[in-house]
């Protein structure tokens, strides 16, 4: 039987831990059981799941920086629903299948990747760790993971590609100055990016109250590092060095049209993805206008409070694309089972936004690696249990979709 001393010692250790993490105790998004499970001396290797990294990132970061990472818009419900929706999809496991060897490799736009899980574009990563995108790139290198660099990166794409030691994908905001946008595209192509992902879900204006509240709680003087209190990486970051940005007023114009996509298609000589598609109609037109694929994304719930999760949008997009091109998805993916469900509903690859950055904030490169390791372990586990030794065997019949 456990002695009272042992129980109290354990409680004291827990309270000591919580006393250095005041925000953690108040964090509504972190279940008590998860918080209690975090070891007293956390290391990246000892983390059990992705959500534990969120608590540590919150503790490690200044309020405004954590707020920037966490924020959605309005009530942050779309952020939550992106993940919650996965609990309404169930897995149909099959027995008597040889799962002694698993193959998670995937062919994507001409390259074979060891895993369908990739690191999605997250801007300004030096706000989360001094080594920022370089640490993420080194983690991607050590885990052979696909990395998409934001055009709002705080480290140049050339340096990130060097740290990754392989080509990286470039995410692109269509600025309202074509000269600037063209210069970015050409720079990314010169840096060896084989894929450019044009983000289209970020039209001007967003009500990111969580960020605003976090900024109120931050006593530091933001203008010491930021022009106009904004990170401004989409205009003043290293990707824009040598480019005249004086006419750029926003990172996405509000008059984007299908003609714009045609023009972009003409400009981009590598593969072109459209990131931020949530309907079958748009997906169909993107492919008709020459896109090489689409990414079902709502920017991690950071732009508009639609209350519609990306996994709910996925089937109509997959149906509309009809196998003509790959369909990728991001938003709310926190478990290997989430990856499995997205693959079953037709995704070719699955992106992580916040979780690797929680790992980065808490532990640097090792944290990003640990996040990738956990997702890999969880995906492998469910593949074994479900009787699906390859990605090709994770078909629509493997899930019951109650969305
Ligand atoms: C702090 C932060 C910065 C982001 N920056 C970009 C960006 O520069 N360009 C972009 O297309 N998406 C950006 N995203 C969206 C991600 O690429 C991705 O779509 C989203 O985070 C996925 O949802 P998840 O965070 O729930 O995994 C950002 C997301 C976060 C959290």
**Residue with the larger pLDDT of the pair 368 and 18:** 368
Q: CA–CA separation, 313 vs 332, rounded Å?
A: 13
Per the model's pLDDT, the better-predicted residue between 172 and 249 turns out to be 172
pLDDT at position 11 over 60: no
Over residues 368-379, mean pLDDT? 98
Whether residue 337 has its Cβ less than 6 Å from ligand 1: no
Q: How confident is the model at residue 36 (pLDDT cuts 50, 70, 90)?
A: low
Q: Is the CB of 72 under 6 A from ligand 1?
A: no
**Atom of ligand 1 at shortest distance to CA of 197?**
11
- C-alpha 162/C-alpha 168 separation (Å) is 9
Contact between 47 and 274 (Cβ < 8 Å): no
**Is the minimum distance from the CB of 394 to ligand 1 under 6 angstroms?**
no
Q: What is the mean pLDDT of residues 325-346?
A: 98
Domains of the chain: 4-70 (no CATH), 77-206+217-401 (3.20.20.70)
Average pLDDT for the chain:
90
Probe residue for ligand 1, chosen from 353, 359, 361 as the CB with the greatest number of ligand atoms within 8 Å:
353
Active site residues: 299
* Ligand 1 binding pocket includes 239 (Cβ within 6 Å): no
Instruction: Over range 314-340, report the average pLDDT.
Output: 98
The per-residue pLDDT for 229 is 55
pLDDT band at 26, cuts 50/70/90? very low
Ligand 1 pocket, 309 CB below 6 A? no
Span from the CA of 213 to the centroid of ligand 1 (angstroms): 20
Is the confidence at residue 22, as pLDDT, over 50?
no
Tell how far the Cα of 98 is from the centroid of ligand 1, in angstroms: 37
pLDDT digits (tens, 9 = 90+) for 66-91: 999 999 999 999 999 999 999 999 99
Task: Name the more confident of 396 and 24.
Answer: 396
Task: Record the tokens describing residue 3, joined without a space.
Answer: 């002695």
Q: Per-residue b/e over 297-313, b at no fewer than 16 CB within 10 Å?
A: bbbbbbbbbbebbbbbb
| CB-based contact 30:51 (threshold 8 Å) | yes
Q: Going by DSSP bridges, is the β-strand pair 327-330/349-352 parallel, antiparallel, or unpaired?
A: parallel
Share of the chain above pLDDT 90, in %: 80
Question: Residue 366: CB within 6 Å of ligand 1?
Answer: no
Task: Name the residue at shortest CA distance from atom 2 of ligand 1.
Answer: 122
The residue nearest atom 12 of ligand 1, judged by CA position, is 121
**What is the model's pTM?**
0.91
**From the alpha carbon of 151, which atom of ligand 1 is closest?**
8
Check if 273 has its Cβ closer than 6 Å to any atom of ligand 1.
no
Of 354, 368, 371, 372, which is best to mutate to test ligand 1, by the most ligand atoms within 8 angstroms of its C-beta?
Answer: 354
Give the pLDDT confidence score for residue 221 in this predicted structure.
80
Q: Three-state SS string across the chain, please?
A: CCCHHHHHHHHHHHHHHHHCCHHHHHCCCCCHHHHHHCCCCCCHHHCCCHHHHHHHHHHHCCHHHHHHHHCCCCCCHHHHHHHHHHHHEEECCCCCCCCCCCECCEEECCEEECCCEEECCCCCHHHCCCCHHHHHHHHHHHCCCEEEECCCCCCCHHHHHHHHCCCCEEEEECCCCHHHHHHHHHHHHHCCCCEEEEECCCCCCCCCHHHHHHHHHCCCCHHHCCECCECCHHHHCHHHCCCCCCCCCCCCCCCCCHHHHHHHHHHCCCEEEEEEECCHHHHHHHHHCCCCEEEECCHHHCCCCCCCCHHHHHHHHHHHHCCCCCEEEECCCCCHHHHHHHHHCCCCEEEECHHHHHHHHHHCHHHHHHHHHHHHHHHHHHHHHHCCCEHHHCCHHHEEECC
Which range, of 5-19, 107-121, 219-233, 281-295, averages the lowest pLDDT? 5-19
């Amino acid at each position: 039987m456990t002695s009272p001393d042992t129980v109290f010692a354990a409680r004291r250790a827990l309270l000591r831990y919580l006393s250095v993490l005041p925000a953690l105790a108040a964090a509504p998004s972190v279940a008590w059981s998860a918080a209690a499970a975090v070891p007293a001396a956390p290391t990246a290797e000892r983390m059990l799941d992705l959500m534990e990294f969120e608590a540590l990132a919150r503790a490690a970061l200044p309020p405004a920086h954590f707020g920037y990472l966490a924020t959605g818009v309005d009530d942050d419900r779309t952020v939550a629903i992106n993940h919650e929706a996965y609990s309404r999809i169930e897995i149909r496991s099959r027995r008597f299948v040889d799962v002694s060897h698993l193959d998670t490799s995937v062919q994507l736009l001409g390259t074979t990747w060891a895993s369908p899980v990739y690191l999605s574009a997250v801007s300004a990563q030096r706000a989360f760790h001094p080594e920022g995108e370089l640490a993420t790139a080194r983690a991607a290198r050590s885990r052979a993971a696909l990395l998409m660099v934001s055009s709002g990166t705080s480290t140049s794409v050339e340096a990130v590609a060097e740290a990754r030691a392989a080509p990286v994908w470039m995410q692109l905001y269509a600025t309202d100055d074509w000269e600037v946008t063209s210069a970015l595209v050409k720079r990314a192509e010169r840096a060896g990016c084989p894929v450019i992902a044009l983000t289209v879900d970020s039209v001007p204006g967003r009500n990111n109250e969580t960020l605003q509240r976090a900024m109120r709680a931050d006593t530091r003087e933001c203008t010491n590092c930021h022009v106009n209190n904004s990170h401004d990486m989409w205009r003043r970051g290293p990707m824009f060095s040598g480019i005249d940005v004086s006419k750029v007023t926003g990172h996405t114009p509000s008059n984007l049209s299908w003609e714009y996509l045609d023009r972009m298609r003409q400009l981009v000589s590598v593969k072109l993805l459209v990131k931020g598609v949530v309907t079958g109609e748009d997906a169909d037109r993107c492919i008709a206008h020459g896109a090489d694929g689409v990414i079902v994304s709502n920017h991690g719930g950071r732009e508009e409070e639609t209350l519609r999760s990306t996994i709910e949008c996925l089937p109509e997009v997959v149906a509309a694309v009809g196998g003509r091109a790959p369909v990728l998805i991001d938003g709310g993916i926190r478990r290997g089972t989430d990856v499995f469900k997205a693959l079953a509903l037709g995704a070719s690859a699955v992106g992580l936004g916040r979780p690797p950055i929680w790992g980065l904030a808490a532990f640097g490169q090792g944290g990003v690696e640990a996040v990738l390791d956990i997702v890999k372990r969880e995906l492998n586990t469910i593949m074994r249990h479900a009787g699906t030794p390859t990605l090709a065997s994770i078909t629509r019949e493997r899930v019951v979709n109650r969305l």
